[in-house]
Amino acid sequence: MIQQLVSRLLSSLVVIIGVATLVFLLIHLVPGDPVEVMLGESAQPADRDALRHELGLDKPVHIQLWEFYGNLLRFDLGTSLHSKQAITEVLAERLPATIELAIAGMVIALVLAFPLGILAAVRKDTIWDSGAMTVSLVGVSIPNFVMGPLLILMFAVWANLLPVSGREGFASLILPAITLGTALASVLSRMVRASLLEVFNEDYIRTARAKGLAEQVVVWRHGMRSAMLPVITLLGLQLGALLAGAVITETVFSWPGIGLLTIEAIQTRDYPVVQACVLLISTTYVVVNTLTDLAYAWLDPRIRMGGS
Amino acid sequence: MPGTLRVWFPLGICLIWAIFAVLGPILPLTPDEIQLPFILEGPGAHTWFGYDDLGRPVLDRMIMGAQTSFLVAFFVIGISVAVGTAIGVVSAWLGGWWDLVIVRIIDIFLAFPGILLAIALAGILGPGINNVVIALSIVSWVGYARLARAQVLSIKERDHVFAAIALGTRPIRIMVRHLLPLIVAPLIIEATFGVAGVVIAEAGLSYLGLGVQPPEASWGSMIRDGARYMLVAPHMVLAPSVALMLIVLAVNLLGDRLRDYLDVRTVRE
């Protein structure tokens, strides 16, 4: 058990190092001279040399990479070219907004997904089932940047109930959270349905029904308990999609989180900040996936981490 | 939906999309023609979908946007399926050290949440349709590589493969003639869903200003531009949004039907 735990953690570490390496390489993909792109063509040669030196771009690539790793270990992500602040500070400023939005989006997703999925599974092959699954298919088909403006149009412009954008109070959280949550809700509800249907075929469900238990008890106590496992896994895996979706959702609603920061940094060619944002989001994703794997093994004694 | 409609509705929408995309260049369109008297005018007799904030016909621009999304989807799926499948098949066939390295690389790429890497790449490579295709291909090949590898691993011990080896068939021929045909069905299904993903991603990048640049049109940039005039001209957002949703919905439905038809249970769910 311990050995498997260690090997799982080690392989996550390898992935994180790989992710950091790719992120490091990003700045070398800038067409032409990255320093010129960042400062603009009119910059003084002295300023260019100073920035080149500051970013370490005047050194050989392998030394740059080595220093990049070293700085990461010290949580030193460099300084923002735009605001001249330490990037770790900038991230710390923006992170609460993204966490708030991600949690709210997840809550919305769960609140929508469970009733839809359970309804579809319990009334399998009826109009309820196809109705719920159509709603979920439509939900996956609406991208965030379509959902967002449509919600703004309906609830902020026409009905004038909620703020259009920004982050001021609870009301401003509602539309972004719904935008972010619906896509996840669609995927989740399909998973809830599929795994419930699988569980319904098990012998112990037939036993529960045969001994005359109420259908609610069968579904909730006996069915949901084991159907939850794959759903939890999916929830962990989908966190990445949620975080990526936050980039667009935050842009639609001018929600001042990491996602909006990424886009702002791209627009101002503040590449160190872009690298830091991508690194932060991806690392979070890897860590959550690892935790999901471990939680899965912990929740299901039958698994306890198989060979692969 | 009744049986036949479930196939013909999505297929029809995809066909219309493809036809507009292919015929777009020869249709008498004026997507860049500015007609000042019609600025922000809603749908009416002049044109079905009204005019945008510069007085350009929204319908013509939507057809141009259809071309953009179709081209990007075509090339991204083409490139990433070809590259991904090749890498996945070779990796599974060779096994050993090669396979180990490839699997690690796949893991690393999968560690970036979907469109995030594409956003960063497109942002750094700079705007334009070529860079959109490059950015999205770099992100999408991994899924096909993983799928192809898993499929080949599950069939490479079959008798007909051993027979081919015993006959002295060259590895390339074994991979192309004896392995590939058996793994094509799940790849086709994954690629179909992939089209929906690429269409959304392209529009997303253009929404963020990282895709095709004006005066070229993309549904994503049309939605972004329209969002500013939502109060006075909601048609500017609604028209491209509905088009985008219809295409994505149709492609997803088509994927579902294909999966049922080809009877593959390994992909999704």
pLDDT tens for each residue of A162-176: 888 888 888 889 999
Identify the pLDDT of residue B265.
55
Between CA B112 and CA B119, with CA B115 as vertex, the angle to 5 degrees is 100
Enumerate the residues of chain B whose CB falls inside 8 A of the CB of residue A258.
none
Identify the pLDDT of residue B76.
97
Between CA B76 and CA A36, with CA A276 as vertex, the angle to 5 degrees is 75
Put simply, the answer to whether B124 touches A16 (Cβ < 8 Å) is no
The residue of chain B with its CA nearest to that of A250 is B208
Mean pLDDT value across residues B58-87: 93
Enumerate the residues of chain A whose CB falls inside 8 A of the CB of residue B200.
143
Tokens of B88: 């996945």
Identify the pLDDT of residue A179.
93
* Mean pLDDT value across chain B: 86
Tell me, yes or no, if the pTM score tops 0.90.
Answer: no
Identify the pLDDT of residue B2.
57
Residues 6+ apart with CB under 8 A from A72: A20, A279
Is the CB of residue B108 less than 8 Å away from at least one CB of chain A?
yes
Is the CB of residue B3 less than 8 Å away from at least one CB of chain A?
no
Q: Is the ipTM of this complex over 0.90?
A: no
* Mean pLDDT value across chain A: 85
Q: Which of A74-88, B19-33, B93-107 has the highest mean pLDDT?
A: B93-107
Whether the upstream peptide bond of residue B10 has omega within 30° of 0, thus cis, is: no
* pLDDT reading at B268 higher than 50: no
Is the CB of residue A274 less than 8 Å away from at least one CB of chain B?
yes
Give the whole-angstrom CA distance, residue B122 versus residue A23: 14
Nearest to B125 among A31, A145, A191 (CB): A31
Identify the pLDDT of residue A307.
43
Q: Name which residue leads in pLDDT, A301 or A69.
A: A69
- Band of the pLDDT at B266, cuts 50, 70, 90? very low
Which chain B residues in 36-55 lie under 8 Å from chain A, judged by CB atoms? none
Put simply, the answer to whether B116 touches A145 (Cβ < 8 Å) is no
Residues 6+ apart with CB under 8 A from A22: B108, B109, B112
Give the whole-angstrom CA distance, residue A304 versus residue A263: 41
Mean pLDDT value across residues B69-80: 95
Count CB neighbours of A145 within 10 A.
Answer: 27
Identify the pLDDT of residue B38.
72
Identify the pLDDT of residue A72.
86
Enumerate the residues of chain B whose CB falls inside 8 A of the CB of residue A244.
113-116
CA separation, residue A107 to residues A210, A242, A247 (Å):
35, 12, 18
Give the whole-angstrom CA distance, residue A281 versus residue B185: 34
In chain B the first and final C-alpha atoms are separated, in Å, by 21
Question: Do A107 and A177 contact (CB within 8 A), yes or no?
Answer: yes
Which residue's structure tokens are 């929830």?
A: A235
Residues 6+ apart with CB under 8 A from A239: A102, A106, A284, A285, A288, A289
Among residues A26, A23, A115, the alpha carbon closest in space to that of A69 is found at: A23
Count CB neighbours of A139 within 10 A.
Answer: 23
- Band of the pLDDT at B55, cuts 50, 70, 90? confident
Burial B182-200 (b: 16+ CB within 10 A, else e): bbebbbbbbbbbbbbbbbb
A212 class by beta-carbon count within 10 Å (0-12 exposed, 13-18 middle, 19+ buried): exposed
Enumerate the residues of chain B whose CB falls inside 8 A of the CB of residue A141.
196, 245, 248-249, 252
